[in-house]
Structure formats: structure tokens, C-alpha cells
């Protein structure tokens, strides 16, 4: 089943998106607060008020998760790591970074920033509760005290949970930073931290099963069955993501050992910058079927033109527009050396949003490396 997501705003220039699964947990949290926690903490209110307060509390809880992810993102941006987006979903939130941290120190600081924000929010909320309880007329602040205590405890728990040393949790990334600094091998450190994540996934699954068994056997309250189910669900999620991270690290490690020259297209057809778009389409794109061509002037690379650039111009204007007017001008990130690892080319494509790079040696264009060629290589490796 495919879930859609919606952009609800931007913070620090980062798109904030809400995944469809978020609404399920939002309703569940609201229902839990409105029918259990709030009536027990503040008896005597109407059902509609409980539901309204529950909805507000649920929004504030997810705002706490968003601030946690913004903590990661802020530090990542300081290290010039682009953040594609932050997505809120059923298990909380995730910041999508377009490349890995450059050093173990950066990895540690990015990972620890999220829990640090959660602990700071927790301390602020609990501090407010202590201050409010010292005021004599507590009944006027009872609702805020209850909400502050809830947010404080949830943020502290969020920080503690994320410090579990199993990848891809923040604690697992801290562990990876330490293993990376010690062994000087990023991919090996990722696989080792992912193994710990697999262990914690199994542990959570067993713990949840134990809670369910205890509730059904009468050793624990029957209401604990749902808690056990959620613990199993979290364990399955942690196990699946740790396993995927381990496999991805293995693939990236293999790409780090393969030079670009092994995957590049060696038959390169170039286009003159003075060529019209109409000539480019009819004499190059259609006959050869390539998605892009390097642009050479007097034997020197000056840019790259792809189908995307051509599509920005209306076909009626193709005879009057030259390639130089729409091409991607030459920048250092457009070029890669033949001996560079494929993983470097792949990360650069992802960071710049490109689907191909020009391979140059001694000032001469000797090939092209494309995203599709890398995908085909990975498919063959999997097979």
C-alpha cells in the first residue's frame, strides 16, 4: 500500500512533509489522551473538551518530534550537508540528508543534536511544571501543569529512546561515529552498528511478546496487550531498517571499490553550443536516443545539455534557441575523474539532482557516467 505525503511548510529552508501514516498515530494519540490520561488527570470536563485538549496535546507532541529532527538538520547544514526534507510519519520523524557526514566528529554532533533538543525541551517543560506548582492558585493552571508534565516526560523519553545504541537510531549513529573513528572505515562501522540495531529489534520483539503473554495470562493488566503490540511493531520497524541499512552499507562499500571508468559510456557524442535546439533534437537526441550530451566548443567542455533543459523551451521556439542558452554551464561538480569511485559520482548526482556526469582526464572528455548505468550495475550485483 502506497502512502502519500503533503508539504505543510518550510523551516530553515527545509520542506516539512506529513506522511499519510502520521494521521493514524495522531488519531490514536488523541483518542488515548481523550479517553484515558485526560479524564484521569482532569476529571469533570466534557467529552468534547477532552478531545480538543487531546488533539492540541498530540500536535504539540509531534512538534517536539519536529524540533528533534530540526536539531539534527541544523547541525548537518553547518557541515554543508543538504537536507532534502523532514517527514513526519507513524514512528515520529526523519530528516532526509543527501550525503553522509564528512568526519566521525560531524557524525557524532549531528546524531547527538536531536536528543539534546529533546532533553532541553523536556527540562524546560518540567521546569515550568515545578514553577507552576509553587504558585498557590494551582487550580487555574492545572491544565497547563498537566500538559507541561506530559510534554516534559515525552521529550525525555524521546531523547532516551533515541540514544539506544542501535542503528539507525541516534544512539546507533553515535556508535557508528565511534567505530568509524576507531577503525577508519565508515562502511564497516555502519554494518557493525546495524548489527547492534538488529539485536535491539529482536529484543523489542521479544519484550513485546512477553508483555502480551503476561497480559493474557493475568500476570499483567489486560490493557497492556496493546502496549505489547506497539513494542513488537517498533521492534519490527527497527529490525527492518537496521537490516536495510546493513545491506545498503554493503552496496555502497562495493561501489567505493569500483572506479568510474568501469561503468562509464566511452562512446561520447558532443554537441556544439551554437547548435539550435531543433538541430539538437533531430540530429542528436532522436537518432542516438541518449538522455544528454556534453557541449564542446573548440574542443573544450563548456557545459552539458539533457532532455530536461530542452523541455524548458516550447517546441515552437526550438529553431531560434541555441544550446548555449539553455545548457548547464560547466562547473567543477559536473566533472568526475575516471579513477574516482562510483560512490563519489553517485553521491554528487544525488546532491546536485543530476542524472549524469562528464568523465575527463588530462582536460579531455573520455566518457559519461549515468545514473541508469549505476542502477544497472547494482541490479547485476544483486543478481
Encode pLDDT of 21-35 as tens digits.
777 777 877 887 777
Q: List pLDDT tens digits, range 303-342.
A: 889 888 888 888 889 899 898 899 888 888 888 888 888 8
* 133, 163, 193 - which closes a domain: 163
175 falls within a domain: no
177 falls within a domain: no
pLDDT (0 to 100) of residue 241: 84
Q: List pLDDT tens digits, range 343-383.
A: 888 878 877 778 888 888 888 888 888 888 887 877 776 65
Active site residues: 69
- Entry pTM: 0.72
Rounded Cα gap, residues 216 and 35, in angstroms: 23
Query: In angstroms, what is the C-alpha Rg of the chain?
Result: 27
Asked if residue 156 and residue 13 are part of one domain, the reply reads: yes
Residue 322 near residue 300 (C-beta atoms within 8 A): no
120 falls within a domain: yes
Q: Which of the residues in the chain have pLDDT under 50?
A: 1
Q: Do the strands 14-19 and 83-89 form a parallel or antiparallel pair, or are they unpaired?
A: parallel
Asked if residue 109 and residue 83 are part of one domain, the reply reads: yes
Q: Which residue range(s) make up the domain with 38? A: 1-163
Rounded Cα gap, residues 62 and 34, in angstroms: 17
Rounded Cα gap, residues 380 and 368, in angstroms: 20
Asked if residue 142 and residue 47 are part of one domain, the reply reads: yes
Scored b (16 or more CB within 10 A) or e, 308-347 reads ebbeeeeeeebeebebbebbbebeeebbbebebbbbbbbb
Amino acid at each position: 500500500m502506497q502512502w502519500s505525503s503533503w508539504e505543510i511548510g518550510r523551516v530553515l529552508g527545509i520542506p516539512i512533509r506529513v506522511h499519510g501514516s502520521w494521521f493514524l498515530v495522531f488519531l490514536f494519540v488523541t483518542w488515548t489522551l481523550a479517553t484515558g490520561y485526560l479524564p484521569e488527570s482532569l476529571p469533570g470536563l466534557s467529552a468534547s473538551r477532552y478531545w480538543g485538549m487531546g488533539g492540541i496535546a498530540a500536535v504539540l507532541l509531534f512538534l517536539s518530534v519536529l524540533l528533534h529532527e530540526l536539531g539534527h538538520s541544523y547541525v548537518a547544514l553547518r557541515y554543508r550537508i543538504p537536507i532534502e526534507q523532514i517527514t513526519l510519519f507513524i514512528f515520529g520523524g526523519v530528516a532526509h540528508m543527501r550525503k553522509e557526514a564528512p568526519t566521525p566528529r560531524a557524525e557524532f554532533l549531528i546524531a547527538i543534536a536531536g536528543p539534546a533538543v529533546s532533553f532541553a525541551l523536556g527540562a524546560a517543560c518540567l521546569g515550568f511544571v515545578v514553577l507552576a506548582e509553587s504558585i498557590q492558585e494551582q487550580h487555574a493552571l492545572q491544565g497547563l501543569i498537566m500538559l507541561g508534565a506530559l510534554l516534559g516526560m515525552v521529550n525525555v523519553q524521546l531523547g532516551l529512546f533515541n540514544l539506544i545504541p542501535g542503528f539507525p537510531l541516534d544512539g546507533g549513529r553515535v556508535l557508528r561515529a565511534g567505530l568509524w573513528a576507531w577503525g577508519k572505515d565508515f562502511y564497516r562501522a555502519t554494518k557493525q552498528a546495524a548489527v547492534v540495531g538488529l539485536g535491539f529489534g529482536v529484543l523489542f520483539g521479544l519484550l513485546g511478546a512477553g508483555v502480551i503473554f503476561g497480559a493474557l495470562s493475568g500476570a499483567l493488566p489486560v490493557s497492556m496487550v496493546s502496549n505489547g503490540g506497539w513494542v513488537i511493531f517498533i521492534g519490527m520497524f527497527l529490525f527492518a531498517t537496521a537490516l536495510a541499512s546493513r545491506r545498503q552499507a554493503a552496496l555502497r562499500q562495493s561501489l567505493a571499490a569500483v572506479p568510474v571508468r568501469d561503468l562509464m559510456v566511452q562512446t561520447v557524442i558532443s554537441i556544439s553550443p551554437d547548435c539550435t535546439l531543433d538541430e539538437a533534437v533531430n540530429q542528436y537526441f532522436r537518432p542516438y536516443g541518449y538522455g544528454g550530451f556534453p557541449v564542446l566548443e573548440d574542443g573544450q567542455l563548456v557545459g552539458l545539455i539533457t532532455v530536461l533543459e530542452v523541455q524548458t523551451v516550447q517546441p515552437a521556439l526550438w529553431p531560434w534557441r541555441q544550446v548555449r542558452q539553455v545548457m548547464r554551464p560547466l562547473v567543477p561538480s559536473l566533472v568526475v575523474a575516471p579513477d574516482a569511485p562510483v560512490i563519489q559520482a553517485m553521491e554528487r548526482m544525488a546532491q546536485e539532482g543530476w542524472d549524469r556526469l562528464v568523465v575527463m582526464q588530462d582536460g579531455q572528455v573520455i566518457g559519461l557516467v549515468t545514473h541508469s548505468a549505476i542502477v544497472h550495475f547494482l541490479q547485476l550485483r544483486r543478481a
